[in-house]
Amino acid sequence: MPLPLPVDPLRHLESFRRDVGRLLDPEVWRTGWVSGALPRVDVYETGNQVVVSCDIPGLRKADDLEIDVDDDRVHLSGVIEGDEERRDDDFLQRERFYGRFSRTVALPVEVKPESARASYRNGVLEIRMDKAQPSRGRRVNIEFH
């Protein structure tokens, strides 16, 4: 009877190591593949509001950012423009992100989109929205014919 082949318990870690290696590749970060897509956000509730606070340093004007609010989500998209005077070849190290970004944030409760107000200060965007009143169910009478 042949002996079973030995099984390497760490064989699945090799593909994981390759994936992590790709994420740690400086070229991936320089081009913004990872850093550009998702600004960091905090979402919290106050008494009658939902607040989304988002780090977006580097915005120069209101037109660089679009905010769309639905009943249960906020979508942010925009662009952070880089220093036009510097070429990529001039940098010895480049960690800050420039370019397009986009993020959709799910809200914990429904809000009134028309109540949304946004402010931007010191690189932090804050969006405040009033909570929607929970709809109350109603009893339905049945008509028999």
Q: What is the pLDDT, as a whole number, of residue 5?
A: 57
CA dist., res. 108 & res. 45, Å (int): 8
CA dist., res. 86 & res. 132, Å (int): 48
Q: What is the pTM of this model?
A: 0.65
**Predicted confidence pLDDT, tens digits, the chain (145 residues):** 566 656 666 666 766 776 676 666 655 554 444 444 468 899 999 999 999 999 999 889 999 999 999 999 999 999 988 776 667 677 787 777 778 888 999 999 999 999 999 999 999 999 999 999 877 778 888 888 7
Domains, the chain, ordered by start: 37-84+95-130 (2.60.40.790)
Closest of 54, 50, 52, 59 to residue 80, by C-alpha? 59
